[in-house]
Amino acid sequence: MTAQIIKGTEIRDQILEEIAADVKEIKEKHNVVPGLVTILVGEDPASMSYVTAKIKTAKELGFHEIQDTQPVDISEEDLLGLVDKYNKDDSINGILVQLPLPKGIDDKKVLNAIDPDKDVDGFHPVNVGRLMIGGDEIKFPPCTPAGIQEMIVRAGVETSGAEVVVVGRSNIVGKPIANLMLQKGDGANSTVTIVHTRTKNMDEHCKRADILIVAAGVAGLVKPEWIKPGACVIDVGVNRVGEKPSKKNPDRMVAILKGDVDFDEAKEIAGYITPVPGGVGPMTITMLMRNTLRSLKFKLGI
């Protein structure tokens, strides 16, 4: 059996089209567009490229977007003041503080200062609590987990009653995706197990999975023989395993990326599988945009 490849790039394009259509309609009816601010402190190249990608997508969707770059030596007090300014800014529906923050700034304090109703990353304790309660309480599902769920649903995989096994228990992927899949509702209703470094017989858990979501950050952790024939395998892991010359510019070296699952072998056993790169990766920014749109819709009561 060769698995159906779930392409994040294709699902991203579909969702971005849906968001753009919604933005257009809201603009026509309410004369307002979603507003997103990204706060970047310092000039860390990786952070700069993440922020640039987010702002570029927001701009293409017709959002009101602000990239607010602050010097690396900004004080915690001034950064908190900036967050407060955007909390009060009516044209802003989503606030994103790019991590990591420089040493000396308590990132938890800064993230917790964001108005939970503008916390489009979904990491504020209030939004974590809302996710736990479920149903209509969920305002901003964290972006990577929301993207994973969307991929499973759009691939047509049955989630109700499915055995879902999540490898990894981080606050940004493992725990929230487990929470989303066990909710009572469409695209969920699953029976969920989370495994981690202290789990005994991890292979036995994985072998039971109808849907196996792997977010450990260990290249090749999940062996092909751990995969149930026909299962849906979502590989969240992004591991740099070397370098190669860029296709566009062979003088430049780019990272060789591998997932937590051996794709070539796993695709012969699974029913559905996501590639790395081009699988879960493209979904995260997309869901950030969707959360920003949701924030505006909540505000407008639509």
Query: Would you tell me which residues interact with ligand NAP (CB under 6 A)?
Result: 144, 167-170, 172-174, 196-198, 202, 215-218, 221, 236-239, 280-281, 284
The residue (of 216 and 231) whose beta carbon lies closer to ligand NAP is: 216
CB of 28 to ligand NAP, least distance (A): 33
The residue (of 221 and 231) whose beta carbon lies closer to ligand NAP is: 221
CB 61 within 8 A of CB 36: no
CB of 229 to ligand NAP, least distance (A): 22
Q: Which of 22, 67, 98, 183 is catalytic?
A: 98
The verdict on whether 54 is a catalytic residue reads: yes
Give the closest residue to 39 by CA, choosing from 128, 140, 130, 120: 120
Q: Which of 22, 119, 121, 260 is catalytic?
A: 121
CB of 125 to ligand NAP, least distance (A): 18
CB of 176 to ligand NAP, least distance (A): 10
Q: Which residues neighbour 88 within 8 Å (Cβ) at sequence distance 6 or greater?
A: none
The verdict on whether 121 is a catalytic residue reads: yes
Q: Which of 22, 54, 139, 149 is catalytic?
A: 54
CB of 50 to ligand NAP, least distance (A): 10
- Cα–Cα separations (whole angstroms), residue 215 to 54, 76, 212, 233, 254: 22, 32, 10, 11, 23
CB of 189 to ligand NAP, least distance (A): 24
CB 169 within 8 A of CB 194: yes
The residue (of 34 and 174) whose beta carbon lies closer to ligand NAP is: 174
CB 87 within 8 A of CB 111: no
The residue with tokens 């566009």 is: 248
Backbone angles phi, psi at 161, to 5 degrees: 80, -5
Annotate 134-189 with DSSP letters as a single string.
-GGG-----HHHHHHHHHHHHTT---TT-EEEEE---TTTHHHHHHHHHSSSTT--
The verdict on whether 73 is a catalytic residue reads: no
The residue (of 26 and 235) whose beta carbon lies closer to ligand NAP is: 235
- Residue 63, token pair as written in the block: 């959002």
The residue (of 94 and 259) whose beta carbon lies closer to ligand NAP is: 259
CB 161 within 8 A of CB 169: no
Q: CA 108, CA 208: separation in Å to the nearest integer?
A: 37
The residue (of 127 and 144) whose beta carbon lies closer to ligand NAP is: 144
Residues recognised as catalytic: 54, 98, 121
